[in-house]
Chains A and B, each alone.
Chain A
Amino acid sequence: MYRPDEIDRAIVDARVAEFRDQVARRLSGELDEDHFKPLRLKNGLYLQLHAYMLRVAIPYGVLSAEQLRMLADVARRYDRGYGHFTTRQNIQFNWVKLEEAPDLLADLARVGLHAIQTSGNCVRNITSDPYAGAAADEVVDPRPWAELLRQWSTLHPEFSYLPRKFKIAITGAPVDRAAIRFHDIGLELRRLEGRLGLKVYVGGGMGRTPMLGACIRDFLPAEEFLSYCEAILRVYNRHGRRDNIHKARIKILVQALGAEQFAAEVEREHAHLKGQGIDAPWGEVERIAAHFTDPPFTLGLPDDFRVDALDPGLERWVARQVMRHRVPGYRIVNVSLKPPGGIPGDASAEQMEAIAELADAYSFGEVRVTHAQNLVLPHVRAIDIPAVYRALMQVGLAEANLDLASDIICCPGLDYCTLANARSIPVAQALADRLRPIEAELGELKIKVSGCINACGHHHAGHIGILGVDRKGTENYQLLLGGSGAEDASLAQILGPGFTAEGVVEAVARVVDVYRRERAAGERFLDTYRRLGPAPFREAVYG
């Protein structure tokens, strides 16, 4: 795992001290809100419906057990005993008091965590594959590259006032677990004839104008990747629409210029930047990569374990939550944060502590956060799987629903968020309850719910997406079908007029019935939808 060095620590400590002073001046009346608000946003502190919300960065979704324990501690001491893991692999605390925020940040800093660049028009937290360094299908470990991006983008003076926020995701596997085509820059590490390089997508995003990223480079040599990213940001910084917040994201620029011309601009800028020492020297790449060498795996362990035939719960959980590891004798364990009746992505302080314990005992002290708002123990010995299952049972986290209908991605919506039009969590809960009895039979079905057009709940990327809208002051929901955030990325399309909360649950049930009736052997919901198109689904819902 990456360990923060003196430079990282100095940056974070200096920021905590600076923010402490700014908060003191706000509280004494020396600073008014107009001047203070941009300062607090630079430190991830938003004002939401009920309180301040603090967004803490989890670089590429990797947490140590120690860090997770600190998050639990913070939840208990400064919040109401829980936190919310987000689709960008971060965590949000919902009940922070301004007067306590500096102490909170100082506590986080003790374990190398912070909220820098979790808000505002800068390069946000770099996201990645939660199975990095563990996945059996991994071609290249993305973590050193994500860390390079993190160091390069941290407090980068040229990119601190971009036209709008900027999100980068990087993966190193053919199966996309990081939704790279929905990011401003999406990177896929690959090998070609023994050389290391990246496929570069640009201009993807959700929000009011959802778009899939366009590929502007099929194979960028790895040695040049920072200067190339810098070239992309320069072109964006120069030409992005600062005059209109709704047109300021890079996706709008890429669309306006066309991917080809945008790529040509980037190439021109890159030709100019290439020789200027922006790219990390190879020795530095290797130094960073050394942080991500394997934990001390035991080789030659039995690659199997006895699933007790008397425990069908364990068997079901293993089939759903446990993935192959690239090292024989190990497994990747997915921990669902979508228990029945729960709030997607929420974890209590006790649950965080329990997972930190498990990470220490069984996974070399490592935990990952997924963009689907679940957690991962990346390196568990196969023979320990039954013990991990039993421990998760005890804290209510042994749900076997990965990628099933009740594994819903959901934003905070009108229960917490000032920008929301409608609640999203109760709709997700009602859908999960309705579909849970048949979810195993339905197979992979990704449902995603957002409380407004900003699309924090990824509804455009849902096999089934739900968008909360305001209809004359009441909550209303649109139904979208056919999206995907994975390697077969696509944008979901609106099916027809909106519904009440109860109505949209009923509509989803009908959509699912069409799938059960029409599916061919081996087809997921998404495959059936793609084969048939919207007509039969529309007929079932509105007919």
Chain B
Amino acid sequence: MKLLTGNRVRTGDVVWWAGDRWSTRLAEAVGLEPAEGERLLAEQAAHEQVNDLALVDAEPRPGGGWRPVHIRERIRAYGPTVRPDLAREGENWR
């Protein structure tokens, strides 16, 4: 599946498409079929509220939620792996 993600223009925060809105929590992201993802990406790009929009590959985690395939996206969801004190609660970069 694909996840739609980017960084909020106003704050720079990492956000995930949560079905009807953007969420800073990966746990709230919705999985998208590629065609639907492309459509949403184009739609959101036109809104100009989120920068660096991208569709990224993800697999379901056994306990629920998504695990992005590439470590880069897992780090985006979690925060710098070297600063667990700043990590987003409940996220896991591994």
Contacts and interface: CB of A to CB of B under 8 A. Distances in A.
Contacts of A29: 48
13 contacts: A27-B9, A32-B48, A47-B51, A48-B12, A50-B12, A50-B76, A50-B79, A343-B83, A414-B71, A414-B72, A416-B80, A473-B70, A474-B71
A34 to B, nearest CB: 9
Nearest to A424: B82
Given A49-B14, A50-B76, A98-B11, 10 more contacts: A49-B75, A51-B13, A94-B80, A96-B12, A97-B10, A343-B82, A415-B82, A415-B83, A425-B82, A473-B71
A99 interface: yes
Contacts of A32: 48
Contacts of B92: none
Contacts, number: 67
| Secondary structure dominating the interface of B | loop
Contacts of A399: none
Nearest to A36: B9
A303 interface: no
Contact of B9 (A33, A94, A418, A429): A33
| Secondary structure dominating the interface of A | mixed
Interface in A42-62: 47-52
Contacts of B82: 343, 415, 423, 425-426, 429
B42 interface: no
A475 B12 contact: no
A448 to B, nearest CB: 17
A505 B73 CA distance: 25
A470 to B, nearest CB: 9
A473 B9 contact: no
A49 B76 contact: yes
Contacts of A416: 80
B20 interface: no
A234 interface: no
A424 B11 CA distance: 26
Contacts of A80: 86
Nearest to A100: B11
Interface string B41-83: 0000000100110000000000000000111100110011111
Interface string A320-352: 000000000000000000000001000000000
B75 A414 contact: yes
A422 to B, nearest CB: 9
B37 to A, nearest CB: 19
A246 to B, nearest CB: 22
B15 to A, nearest CB: 11
Interface residues of A, number: 31
Interface of B: 7, 9-14, 48, 51-52, 69-72, 75-76, 79-83, 86
A199 interface: no
B80 A98 contact: no
Contacts of A414: 71-72, 75
Contacts of B9: 26-27, 33, 98
Given A414-B71, A414-B75, A51 B52 contact: no
Interface in A387-402: none
B12 A52 contact: yes
Nearest to A428: B82
Contacts of B7: 47, 51
Interface string A457-474: 000000000000000011
Contacts of A50: 12-14, 76, 79-80
Interface string A409-435: 000001110101001011001000000
Given A33-B9, A33-B51, A52-B12, A426 B71 contact: no
A98 B10 contact: yes
Contacts of A99: 10-11
A33 B45 CA distance: 10
Contacts of B71: 414, 473-475
B12 A415 contact: no
A425 B76 CA distance: 16
A320 B13 CA distance: 42
Nearest to B7: A47
A94 B80 CA distance: 10
Contacts of B86: 80
A98 B11 CA distance: 5
Nearest to A81: B86
Complex A-B, nearest 4 residue pairs according to Cβ-Cβ distance, in ascending order: A51-B12, A415-B80, A52-B12, A97-B11
Contact of B11 (A26, A48, A51, A429): A51
B12 A97 contact: yes
Q: Which of B7, B9, B48, B82 is the most central at the interface, judged by chain A CB atoms within 10 Å of its CB?
A: B82
A487 B64 CA distance: 57
A423 B81 contact: yes
B77 to A, nearest CB: 10
Interface string A195-213: 0000000000000000000
A474 B70 CA distance: 8
Contacts of B48: 29, 32-33
Contacts of A96: 12
A47 B52 contact: yes
A418 B10 CA distance: 18
Given A27-B10, A47-B51, A97-B12, A473 B69 contact: yes
Contacts of A343: 82-83
Contacts of B10: 27, 97-99
Nearest to B52: A47
